[in-house]
């Protein structure tokens, strides 16, 4: 009986864990099995690992081979363990003459091709952060993942192309690539606000939404720039801080959507699923290593739901809990997994199903109209601080010069965000959009003069208690954008106007 071992790192939902791979050989009917809560996809690794070992010129034991993955109670999936399994098997055969000296301090990540080539895998960033935490000194990763791997400091990254190279490296006969790869640091091109003509109210609403990280709804007839404006929101948002940047990158790493040459995400993501998006695509999960849903891909960024009135009631309802808690809970075969999902929601909708260019041409019945946007009402709408009703720009507006460029708007947004961060720091909130109602009415209650507009609206029944909270929350952002310490009466009065501009009570 002989034993070979190697370490890898796997993902259980979003939680990475170091996995020890042990290859045991013993007398008995020759065969190859994998134990340790391996799913079907992982068991298929046998069909890759054996040819990869043989085709790399090593001996595959002609014995009973059992590869055990520990911890045994962690569900394991995917091809990431291929390389560690192959290394442990090669080491289990003394005739292969491969040294195990570096093995205890190394993690191996990679999928194998039948010829022994090492293919890229998902989740390298979170896996290596965990390996570093667990005290590993170095990692062997697929060459195509080296730029991403290099984002993790204080762990030596070795890029490898084949199993043969890795084994010769273990023997000190080959040098794996440890150079920091060239990183393309040109960001994605975001369209500019300067393209949007007119729509000054909606532009202003978007600026306020960006500054306070408020959820926003835009309604209006087709072809007036709703989608156009929403797509320009990323250009006026502040960049992610370095911690957020790594966190967001880790999620996209697991999803397998990182561009290999530009792996670090530094700008807030903008995710725009179709209104027919499935529940799994929205929330994430599914079988195998859990894919993040669009809600998690939009973490610390923007989730844009265009034509949101066309979305199913179930999907709209599923947004509520993540909006409240900043994370998604998904039931899986092996329990409930939690994924981060702190999103800024941007909704766009036509006011009715027939969507004429001018409201007077609408052919829908009153009931149909009410029902159409009514789908959005209730607890979801309670979270939307800004509702803006857009109208067709007059012909005069279309002839006027270009709008203000994104860079100028962004500068104001960045300054306002900084003020909010300073104010809320000790409370654990980062943006005005996160501040809960009780705090707005309690500790941060405005002076009586500033509260007056809200009280008048409440007394006349023109605003609900929740609507009043939204107005107060928004008034802080208006004050931050003015560079003021706190909102005054006029900020609150203005904020109240954003309450029902979408055509909602
Ligand atoms: N305010 C505007 N400034 C400049 N171009 C505009 C404006 N509004 C609309 N357009 C032009 O019309 C096109 C359609 O606009 P957009 O897709 O944003 O409309 P929409 O309001 O989302 O309509 P729909 O309800 O049909 O989705 C844009 O690509 C742009 O060329
Ligand atoms: Mg549109
Ligand atoms: Zn209509």
**One-character DSSP codes across 144-185:** GGHHHHTTSTTSEEEEESBHHHHHHHHTTS---B-SPPP---
The reply to whether ligand 1 has any atom less than 6 angstroms from the CB of 255 is no
Sign of CA dihedral 328, 296, 78, 243: negative
Q: Which ligand is nearest to the CA of 355?
A: 3
Tens digits of residue pLDDT in 421-436? 999 999 989 999 999 8
pLDDT tens-digit readout, 176-209: 888 776 666 666 678 999 988 888 889 999 999 9
**Which residue reads 């993540």 in tokens?**
322
- How many Å apart are CA 389 and CA 371, to the nearest integer? 17
Q: What residues sit around ligand 2, an ion, with C-beta below 5 angstroms?
A: 226-227
Compute, in angstroms, the gap from residue 67 CA to the centroid of ligand 3.
64
pLDDT for residue 209: 97
3-state secondary structure of 329: strand
Count of Cβ atoms closer than 10 Å to residue 24 Cβ? 20
Residues by chain with Cβ below 5 Å of ion ligand 3: 352, 354, 362, 364
pLDDT of 269: 93
What does the alpha-carbon distance between residue 158 and residue 140 come to, in Å, rounded to a whole number? 5
Helices (H) and strands (E) in the chain, counts: 20, 18
Atom of ligand 1 nearest to the CA of 397: 1
% of the chain beyond a pLDDT of 90: 51
Note the pLDDT tens digit of each residue in 434-460. Answer: 998 899 988 899 999 999 999 998 898
CB of 196 within 6 A of ligand 1: the answer is yes
> Which H or E run includes 82?
helix 82-92
From atom 27 of ligand 1, which residue's Cα is the shortest distance away? Answer: 222
Residues 6+ apart with CB under 8 A from 97: 171
Closest CA to 489 of 480, 505, 478: 478
pLDDT computed for residue 43 by the predictor: 79
What are residue 6's DSSP bridge partners? Answer: 21
- Residue from 227, 308, 391 whose mutation best tests the ligand 1 pocket (most atoms within 8 A of CB): 227
Segment of 36-50, 79-93, 491-505 carrying the highest mean pLDDT: 79-93
Distance, CA of 497 to chain centre:
32
- DSSP string over 279-313: HHHHHEE-SSSPEE-HHHHTTTSEEEETTGGGS-H
Please give the pLDDT value at position 505: 36
Delimiting residues of CATH 3.40.50.300 domain(s) in the chain:
193-431
Whether the Cβ atoms of residue 219 and residue 423 lie closer than 8 Å to each other:
no
Report the distance separating Cα 188 and Cα 268, nearest Å: 11
The CATH topology of domain 2-170 is Ribosomal Protein S5; domain 2 (3.30.230)
Question: Any residues with CB less than 8 A from the CB of 301 and at least 6 apart, and which?
Answer: 234, 237, 248, 267, 268, 269, 270, 271, 343, 344
- Which residue's CA lies nearest to atom 16 of ligand 1? 225
Q: Which residue has the higher pLDDT, 383 or 171?
A: 171
The atom number, within ligand 1, closest to the CA of 230 reads: 18
213 falls in which pLDDT band (50, 70, 90)?
very high
Residue 386, H or E segment: strand 386-389
Tell me, using a 6 A CB cutoff, whether residue 219 lines ligand 1. Answer: no
pLDDT computed for residue 48 by the predictor = 93
Does residue 413 carry a pLDDT above 60? yes
Q: Kindly report the protein residue whose alpha carbon is nearest to atom 24 of ligand 1.
A: 222
pLDDT of residue 157: 93
Structure confidence by residue, pLDDT tens digits, 456-504: 988 988 888 888 888 999 999 999 999 999 999 999 999 988 865 444 4
**Cα separation, 147 vs 149, whole angstroms:** 5
Closest ligand (CA of 229): 1
Whole-number Å distance between alpha carbons of 338 and 12: 11
Q: Which of 203, 226, 228 to mutate to test the pocket of ligand 1 (most atoms within 8 A of CB)?
A: 228
Residue 218 pLDDT exceeds 60: yes
Which H, E and C letters describe 5-74, residue by residue?
EEEEEEEECCEEEEEEEEEEEECCCCEEEEECCECHHHHCHHHHHHHHHHHCCCCCCCCEEEEEEECCCC
pLDDT, tens digit, 9 for 90 and up, residues 263-281: 889 899 999 999 888 888 8
Query: Which protein residue has the closest C-alpha to ligand 1 atom 13?
Result: 223
CATH architecture of 193-431: 3-Layer(aba) Sandwich (3.40)
H helix or E strand, kind and range, residue 389: strand 386-389
pLDDT in tens, 376-387: 767 788 788 898
Per-residue pLDDT at 501: 45
Kindly give the distance from the C-alpha atom of residue 218 to the centroid of ligand 2, in angstroms, as a whole number. 10
Using the mean position of ligand 2's atoms as its centre, give its distance from the Cα of residue 362 in Å.
18
Q: Cα–Cα distances in Å, from 15 out to 10, 328, 339, 431?
A: 8, 14, 9, 27
Stretch(es) of the chain classified as CATH 3.30.230.10: 2-170
Q: Cβ(283)–Cβ(13) under 8 Å?
A: no
Mean pLDDT, the chain, whole residue set: 88
Per-residue pLDDT tens over the stretch 342-397: 999 999 998 888 888 777 888 888 888 888 877 776 778 878 889 888 887 766 55
Chain centroid offset of residue 467 CA: 29
Residue with the two structure tokens 């929403």: 230
Pick from 66, 88, 69, 89: nearest CA to 77: 69
């Amino acid at each position: 009986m002989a034993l070979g071992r190697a370490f890898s790192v796997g993902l259980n939902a979003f939680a990475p864990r170091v996995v020890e791979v042990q290859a045991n050989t013993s007398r008995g009917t020759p065969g190859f099995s994998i134990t340790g809560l391996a799913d079907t996809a992982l068991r298929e690794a046998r069909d890759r690992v054996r040819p990869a070992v043989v085709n790399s010129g090593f001996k595959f034991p002609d014995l009973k081979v059992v590869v055990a993955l520990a911890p045994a109670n962690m569900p394991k999936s995917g091809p990431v363990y291929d390389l560690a399994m192959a290394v442990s098997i090669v080491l289990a055969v003394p005739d292969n003459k491969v040294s195990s000296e570096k093995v205890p301090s190394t993690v191996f990540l990679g999928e194998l091709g039948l010829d022994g080539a090492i293919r890229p895998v998902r989740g390298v960033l979170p896996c290596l952060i965990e390996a570093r935490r667990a005290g590993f000194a170095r990692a062997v990763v697929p060459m195509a993942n080296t730029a991403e791997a290099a984002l993790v400091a204080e762990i030596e990254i070795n890029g490898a192309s084949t199993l043969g190279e890795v084994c010769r490296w273990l023997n000190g006969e080959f040098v794996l690539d440890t150079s920091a790869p060239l990183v393309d640091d040109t960001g994605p091109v975001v369209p500019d606000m300067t393209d949007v003509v007119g729509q000054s109210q909606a532009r202003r609403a978007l600026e306020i939404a960006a500054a306070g990280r408020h959820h926003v709804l835009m309604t209006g007839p087709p072809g007036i720039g709703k989608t156009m404006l929403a797509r320009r929101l990323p250009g006026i948002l502040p960049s992610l801080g370095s911690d957020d940047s790594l966190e967001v990158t880790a999620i996209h790493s697991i999803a397998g959507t990182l561009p290999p040459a530009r792996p670090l995400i530094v700008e807030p993501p903008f995710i725009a699923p179709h209104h027919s998006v499935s529940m799994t695509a929205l929330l994430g999960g599914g079988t195998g290593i859990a894919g993040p849903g669009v809600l998690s891909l939009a973490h610390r960024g923007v989730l844009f739901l265009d034509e949101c009135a066309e979305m199913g009631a179930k999907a709209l309802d599923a947004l509520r809990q993540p909006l409240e808690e900043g994370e998604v809970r998904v039931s899986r075969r092996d329990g409930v997994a939690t994924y981060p999902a702190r999103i800024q929601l941007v909704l766009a909708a036509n006011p009715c199903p027939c969507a004429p260019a001018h409201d007077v041409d609408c052919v829908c019945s009153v009931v149909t109209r009410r029902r159409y946007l009514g789908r959005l009402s209730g607890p979801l709408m309670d979270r939307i601080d800004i509702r803006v009703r857009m109208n067709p720009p007059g012909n005069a507006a279309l002839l006027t010069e270009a709008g203000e460029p994104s860079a100028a708007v962004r500068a104001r947004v960045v300054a306002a965000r900084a003020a909010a961060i300073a104010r809320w720091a000790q409370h654990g909130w980062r943006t005005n959009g996160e501040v809960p109602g009780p705090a707005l009415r309690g500790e941060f209650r405005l002076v009586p003069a500033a509260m007056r507009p809200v009280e008048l609206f409440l007394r006349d029944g023109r605003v609900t208690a929740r609507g009043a909270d939204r107005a107060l929350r928004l008034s802080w952002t208006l004050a931050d954008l003015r560079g003021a310490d706190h909102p005054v009466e006029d900020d609150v009065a203005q904020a109240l106007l954003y309450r029902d501009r979408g055509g909602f009570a």
